[in-house]
Amino acid sequence: MKTLTMKFGGTSVANVDRIKAVRDIISGEVRNGWKVVAVVSAMSNETNKLIDLAKQVGVESLVDPEYDSLISTGEDVSSSLLAIALNSIGISSRSWRGWQLPVITNNFHSNAKIEEIDTRKIVDAFNGGTKVAVISGFQGIEKSGRITTLGRGGSDTSAVAIAAAIDSKRCDIYTDVSGIYTTDPRIKKNASKLKKISFEEMLEMASLGANVLQTRAVELAMRHKVPITVLNSFSNEEGTLVCDEEEIMEKNIVSGIAFQKNQSQLTLTNIEDKPGVAAKIFGPLANSGVNIDMIVQSNTETGSTNITFSCPVADLDMAKKAISNAKENNLISYERLIENKNLAKVSIVGIGMKTHAGVAQKMFETLYEENININVISTSEIKLSVLIERKYLELAVRSLHDAFNLQNL
């Protein structure tokens, strides 16, 4: 069966006019001979309204099953309206809630993971003449029968998972941008739109702050080899294909620059240098839910060591509390705890870095020429990240973009 999965985000279904525009996009694919699975988000800002209502009546926890039951309803409105719109122009369609298929998840409410998707109802409907199956994204059901939600950006995850389960040719994700750019065009106006980007590169970009695609969706697409096309529901521009590295003939040394603005750094000085100390530091941080990113350990002339790590500013207070408690409980000993919460992380990403030398030198030289100091460095096979003062973020992004000639990709 020739099936295409299409996902439409909140801005794409923001109002009745936008839903009619989405209907017309889908009808074009139906005319091209596709059976379409359309996965939709809630209408723009509807989920936030539902969250506010929950807070007003006194919700005590975001992992409350009733909270999930409430905030999942926004997607149900979108899916029903879109199915009605499609049927009104003669395209046989019906909507399903995630739990009706069902999309089976674990019981981690507000951030559930998909375990299984039963696509038999969709297949039966297609065999019976239905042209479009409209699915409420973001939601599923756990084995005890309670509705779950998949966390922020969960409709992307729903779409890719359903595409994999039903063996769609590809998954088209419609947003309010025209594809994946070499960096944020709001910072670098002549940023290039990429025709193709590998799953691996996109996963790094998404995890480093590029918000076009949700990280879990890219992980699923890479695991199940589901090509993703990122498109703009407001225009007919060609989008960006996210695919296997083998499908990209000319591999860019650097494909993009990602950044995260609100980063902080903590340094513990004069720690005893012996096995197990790092575990005693980072264990309490993990138990407190602190998202640790970059880590540097440096030995001193006195035989002790200093450990520096970064985390989001939002986690800084939790991190300081966890470290202080560990010291009070005699788990660790250090002389000073030094913080810096005015930092940003800038990263260059590219699969061509696997086979090309000199990329780090070029990055460091570019930052040096702009008099930008580097606090911390971390690397992977296709990524190089630095922690710098936040006030230099935009200058760093623009300078690196020019240095690697990304405007001409």
pLDDT in tens, 173-232: 999 999 999 999 999 999 999 999 999 999 999 888 777 898 999 999 999 999 999 999
Looking at residue 274, its pLDDT comes to 86
The C-alpha atoms of residue 26 and residue 347 are separated, in whole angstroms, by 37
Q: Which residue has the tokens 């950006």?
A: 153
Residues of the chain with pLDDT > 90, as a percent, come to 84
Residue 43 has pLDDT above 80, yes or no: yes
Collapsed DSSP state (helix, strand, coil) of residue 1? coil
- pLDDT above 90 (res 248): no
Q: Which of 40-44, 189-193, 227-231, 245-249 comes out lowest in average pLDDT? A: 245-249
Answer yes or no: is pLDDT of 249 > 80. Answer: no
Q: Provide mean pLDDT across the span 316-330.
A: 93
Whether the predicted pLDDT of 66 surpasses 80: yes
Residue 62 has pLDDT above 80, yes or no: no
pLDDT of 252: 86
pLDDT digits (tens, 9 = 90+) for 93-133: 999 999 999 999 999 999 999 999 999 999 999 999 999 99
The per-residue pLDDT for 195 is 94
Q: Is 175 helix (H, G, I), strand (E, B) or coil?
A: strand
Burial of 236 (0-12, 13-18, 19+ CB in 10 A): exposed
More confident residue, 250 or 145: 145
pLDDT at residue 291 in the model: 87
Give residue 60's pLDDT band: very low, low, confident or very high (50, 70, 90): confident
What mean pLDDT is reported for the chain?
94
Average pLDDT score over residue span 224-248: 93
| Contact by Cβ (8 Å): 107, 146 | yes
Q: Report the C-alpha gap between 388 and 277 in whole angstroms.
A: 27
Binning pLDDT at 50, 70 and 90, where does residue 247 land?
A: confident
What is the fold, at CATH topology level, of the domain defined by 3-176?
Carbamate kinase (3.40.1160)
How, if at all, do strands 139-142 and 147-149 pair? antiparallel
Burial of 90 (0-12, 13-18, 19+ CB in 10 A): exposed
Residues whose CB is less than 8 angstroms from the CB of residue 122 and which lie 6 or more positions away in sequence, other chains included: 37, 96, 101, 133, 166
- Amino acid code (one letter) for 245: E
Q: What is the mean pLDDT of residues 252-267?
A: 94
pLDDT at 302 over 90: no
- Tokens in use for 122? 């969709």
Whole-number pLDDT of residue 78: 97
Ranges of each domain in the chain: 3-176
What integer pLDDT is reported at residue 299 of this predicted model?
A: 86
What is the rounded distance in angstroms from the CA atom of residue 156 to the CA atom of residue 127? Answer: 26
- Angle of helix 199-207 relative to helix 215-224, nearest 10 degrees, comes to 160
**What's 391's DSSP letter?**
G
